Amino acid sequence: MLNVTELYHILYKHMGPQQWWPARTKIEIVLGAILVQNTNWRNAALAIENLEQHTQLAPDNILQLSDEALQEIIKSSGFYKAKAQTIKSVLTWMVRFDYEYEEIKAYYQDELRNNLLDIKGVGNETADVLLVYIFEVPVFIPDSYTRRIFYKLGYNSTNNYEQLRKQVSLPAHFTAQDANEFHALLDNFGKQYFNKKEQQKLQFLESYFIR
């Protein structure tokens, strides 16, 4: 069974750097992490584009929108009522620190993940994405594609996000950038491999699959 370091090096060798997350600012990453929940990136990107036209993605401008206006702007992402509330809750939580991410990280330290999870609408995956891409904390993000890959590699408890997260630890030498790249490699591999039209291009990992 491949360990995390071996898997990372194999994916990186064959796929190269992924240049993730597709955003220009950290606020855009925050918004994307919320808007992509339970939908595809295309729908989330449309919502971000629309939100930029109305607010320039400025947090204060977003917070000044009425709930109804924000819902209408992000409608393409689906579940727009819940996502509008989550966006406002997350930005309100961050504005207390004037969006100084290092200050937030230093304040909460080891309790940062728990405090993110306390925000209504922020689940395990969104919290971990924010940890890696906003607060630069190296954690494992076992999203749906990653769980399917780890299942094929012979890992157990892959049908449950939290169980696999607790089972798999990133190596101590992994930086936040390594965690960023690892998540991007797994996600992009999964998107292509589990698409039958693209599968033949990614056979380099099949010799390690147990299931």
Tell me the pLDDT band of 198, cut-offs 50, 70 and 90.
low
Three-point CA angle 112, 148, 145, nearest 5°: 55
Most confident of 67-71, 194-198, 207-211: 67-71
Residue 64: phi, psi to the nearest 5? -80, -15
Please determine, for residue 201, whether its predicted confidence score (pLDDT) is greater than 90: no
Secondary structure tally for the chain: helices H, strands E: 12, 0
**Could you tell me which of 197, 16, 190, 195 has the C-alpha nearest to residue 205?**
190
Question: How many angstroms separate the CA atoms of 13 and 47, rounded?
Answer: 34
Radius of gyration of the chain (CA): 18
Q: Is the pLDDT reported for residue 197 higher than 80?
A: no
